[in-house]
């Protein structure tokens, strides 16, 4: 349905940004948009889709599929879509004609309709996720096959042909040993859908033509399963617009395909790069750090030609004095949200956290990992309890407190129980507030099934949050401190070994052999830095723990990059 007024308003609102205008008005069938943090990615994506409807590029019998690697990114897309709705018919159509979800959420949706064709005998949401490496439910031969198959996906070493060859046996093992026990691992969600689409051409044809366009967020994090799913759901005529950023690819350990954006460009995708940094538009220091890191990641040879960027530092002789300085810094900004990010939950991290907590009663401990047994159990139990309580209606604001109170009685004590309950509470509050009743159940159940409550940390009413860098991706705070900025902490022991030998100055040495490992480390540093809206600083000490021993330490090798200086002063 054409809406010339809406189309004109969209173009008028973005006319000062040439690249956003190119994205919104593009006519490409296949396009990759490079979108760094703070450059207006979601704004561009939503306006592009609205422009499609306003200019009648999407017909009333067609749908747009918005996919992402993480459930948090999918929820942000849904939230942006609902917030964009106004009195315009074209804008209101976004809710009904755009399906925003993550890869696993999409597969749950498909299996909810056709699951019986691949062996699901009960609703898909009744099955629980499981880490097969921690159970003996599979016989040894089958367990070895599944582990090998999963490892190849995780390492991104399996080909398209190898994937489709292995799926039949992989799924048959799930049907024989897992599904009867009400278990459904994440990878099986996608492999079962791939089998369904392969074995039922009419279903595959329906989805191929049902979605006339597919938008992908966080494209750089896509693994072989996600990419295969996209290929199964699209035709040569399907518009595919992928938004991503090579520098934010830090999920290699989950199978993110290395250099995926570059590989797709080689296959004929068009390319637009957003160029205006809105997050740091009034902060020259932060903008310089951002530009330098991105330039260096693109070409190591630029290192000595880049302007110097200054980063504030807290440097002390030991962890306890470092914690005292951190508290002094934190107390200077009582009205700002502050994050302390670390590379790993090491003993050094725990000692630092305990020392900071002594002076910060409202600190939130977000150091738990999504694959911790207790964290998985918490999410599974929350999903079960939610479905029991709200099987016939959706949740409303007045239901949340009693739901949390009753649910907390069902969960055993753990060091992270309080943190998880707080996350569940604020997540439900935000979902009820920001999503229409018809979308709430999908948002809640998909988030719980994906073990993704951690992505609600930004909604916690805490002055200070401590989290791992990986757990912070997609979030942002006013001020970010990258703590434990020492060799063997950042990078950790295995990261140091991966990068290779260092000279006496601990200097990073690109040489072609270890360049990919250096880029991974720089990307991790960039993700930590780009979580900050106002200020980023690092902290480190001259001693830390390795195993049970307190040893001398030195600053991270990142500090040897010639375009960065770390100054032990702050105001």
Q: What does the alpha-carbon distance between residue 555 and residue 563 come to, in Å, rounded to a whole number?
A: 16
Considering the domain architecture, whether residues 480 and 508 belong to the same structural domain is answered as yes
Considering the chain, what percentage of its residues have pLDDT values greater than 70? Answer: 95
CATH, residue 301: 3.40.50.300
- Judged against a pLDDT cut of 90, whether residue 402 lies above it is answered with yes
In 3D space, the residue among 73, 349, 331 whose CA is nearest the CA of residue 220 turns out to be 73
Helix (H), strand (E) at residue 286 = helix 284-298
User: Three-state SS for 98?
Assistant: strand
Task: Tell me the pLDDT tens digit for each residue of 199-212.
Answer: 999 999 999 989 99
Q: How far apart are CA 466 and CA 448, in angstroms?
A: 22
Q: How many separate domains does the chain show?
A: 3
Average pLDDT over residues 166-189: 95
* pLDDT higher than 80, residue 440: yes
Say if residue 292 is in the same domain as residue 222.
no
User: What pLDDT, in 10s, does the model give residues 77-91?
Assistant: 877 777 765 545 555
Residue 318, helix vs strand vs coil: coil
Residue 367 inside a domain? The answer is no
| 130 pLDDT more than 90 | no
Q: What is the pLDDT of residues 284-297, one digit of tens each?
A: 989 999 999 999 99
The residues, any chain, with a CB within 8 Å of residue 246's CB and separated by 6 or more, are: 34, 220, 259, 261, 262, 297, 523
**pLDDT value, residue 391:** 83
Q: Looking at the domain assignment, is residue 368 inside a domain?
A: no
Which single residue is written with the structure tokens 């079962």? 192
Q: Is the previous residue joined to 265 through a cis bond, with omega within 30 degrees of 0?
A: no
pLDDT for 437 = 86
pTM greater than 0.85: yes
Mean per-residue pLDDT, 344-353: 90
Integer Cα distance of 291 and 296 in angstroms: 9
* Radius of gyration of the CA atoms of the chain, in A: 24
CA distances from 404 to 199, 363, 368, 427, 484 (A): 43, 21, 20, 11, 35
Segment 377-387 mean pLDDT: 93
Same domain, 292 and 393: no
CA distances from residue 113 to 95, 109, 211, 512 in whole angstroms, order as listed: 21, 7, 17, 49
- Spatial distance between the Cα atoms of 42 and 441, rounded to a whole number of angstroms: 23
User: What pLDDT shows up at residue 501?
Assistant: 63
Whether residues 395 and 437 fall in one domain: yes
Last residue of a domain, one of 410, 430, 456: 456
Q: Is 435 exposed, middle or buried (0-12, 13-18, 19+ CB in 10 A)?
A: buried
Q: How many residues does the chain have?
A: 571
pLDDT recorded at residue 19: 96
Query: Domain range for residue 416?
Result: 373-456
Lowest mean pLDDT among 45-49, 263-267, 490-494, 549-553: 490-494
Location of structure tokens 């967020």: 217
Report cis status (omega within 30 of 0) of the bond before 491: yes
- pLDDT value of position 360: 82
**Mean pLDDT of the chain, nearest integer:** 89
Give the pLDDT score at 571.
Answer: 45
Q: 296 vs 436, which has greater pLDDT?
A: 296
Percent of the chain topping pLDDT 90? 59
Task: Summarize pLDDT for 96-111 with one digit per residue, the tens.
Answer: 788 888 899 899 999 9
3 with 98, same domain: the answer is: yes
Same domain? For 48 and 166 the reply is yes
């Amino acid at each position: 349905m054409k809406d010339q007024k809406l189309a004109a308003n969209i173009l008028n609102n973005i006319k000062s940004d040439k690249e956003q205008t190119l994205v919104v008005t593009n006519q490409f069938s296949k396009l990759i948009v490079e979108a760094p943090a703070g450059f207006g990615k979601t704004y561009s994506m939503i306006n592009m889709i609205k422009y499609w409807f306003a200019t009648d590029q999407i017909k009333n019998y067609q749908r747009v599929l918005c996919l992402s690697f993480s459930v948090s990114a999918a929820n942000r897309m849904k939230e942006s879509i609902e917030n964009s709705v106004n009195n315009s018919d074209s804008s209101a159509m976004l809710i009904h004609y755009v399906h925003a979800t993550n890869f696993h959420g999409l597969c749950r949706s498909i299996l909810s309709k056709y699951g019986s064709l691949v062996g699901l005998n009960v609703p898909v949401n009744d099955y629980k996720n499981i880490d097969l490496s921690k159970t003996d439910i599979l016989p040894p031969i089958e367990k070895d096959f599944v582990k090998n198959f999963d490892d190849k996906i995780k390492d991104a070493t399996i080909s398209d042909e190898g994937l489709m060859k292995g799926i039949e046996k992989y799924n048959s093992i799930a049907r024989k040993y897992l599904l009867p026990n009400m278990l459904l691992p994440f990878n099986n969600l996608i492999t079962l859908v791939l089998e369904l689409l392969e074995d039922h051409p009419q279903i595959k044809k329906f989805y191929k033509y049902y979605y006339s366009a597919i938008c992908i967020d966080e494209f750089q994090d896509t693994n072989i399963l996600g990419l295969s799913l996209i290929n199964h759901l699209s035709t040569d005529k399907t518009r595919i617009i992928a938004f991503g950023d090579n520098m934010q690819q830090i999920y290699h350990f989950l199978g993110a395909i290395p250099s995926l954006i570059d590989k797709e460009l080689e296959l004929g995708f068009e390319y637009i790069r957003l160029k205006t940094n809105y997050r740091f538009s009034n902060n020259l220091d932060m903008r310089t750090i951002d530009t330098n890191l991105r330039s260096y990641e693109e070409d190591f040879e630029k290192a000595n030609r880049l302007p110097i960027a200054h980063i504030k530092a807290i440097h002390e002789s030991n962890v306890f004095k470092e914690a005292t300085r951190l508290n002094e810094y934190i107390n200077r900004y009582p009205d700002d949200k502050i994050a302390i990010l670390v590379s790993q939950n090491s003993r050094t991290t725990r000692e630092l956290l305990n020392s900071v907590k002594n002076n910060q009663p409202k600190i939130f401990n977000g150091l738990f990992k999504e694959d911790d047994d207790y964290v998985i159990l918490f999410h599974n139990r929350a999903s079960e309890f939610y479905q029991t309580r709200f099987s016939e209606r959706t949740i409303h604001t007045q239901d949340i407190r009693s739901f949390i109170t009753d649910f907390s009685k069902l969960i055993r004590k753990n060091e992270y129980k309080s943190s998880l309950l707080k996350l569940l509470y604020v997540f439900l509050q935000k979902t009820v507030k920001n999503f229409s009743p018809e979308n709430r159940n999908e948002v809640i159940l998909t988030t719980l099934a994906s073990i993704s409550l951690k992505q609600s940390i930004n909604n916690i009413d805490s002055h200070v949050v401590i989290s791992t860098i990986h757990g912070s991706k997609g979030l942002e705070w006013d001020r970010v401190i990258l703590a434990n900025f020492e060799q063997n902490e950042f990078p950790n022991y295995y990261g140091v070994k991966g990068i290779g030998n260092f000279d006496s100055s601990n200097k990073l040495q690109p040489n072609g052999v270890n360049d990919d490992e250096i880029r991974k480390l720089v990307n991790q540093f960039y993700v930590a830095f780009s979580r900050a809206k106002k200020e980023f600083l690092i902290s480190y000490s001259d001693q830390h723990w390795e195993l049970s021993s307190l040893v001398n330490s030195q600053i991270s090798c990142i500090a040897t990059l010639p375009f960065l200086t770390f100054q032990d002063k702050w105001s």
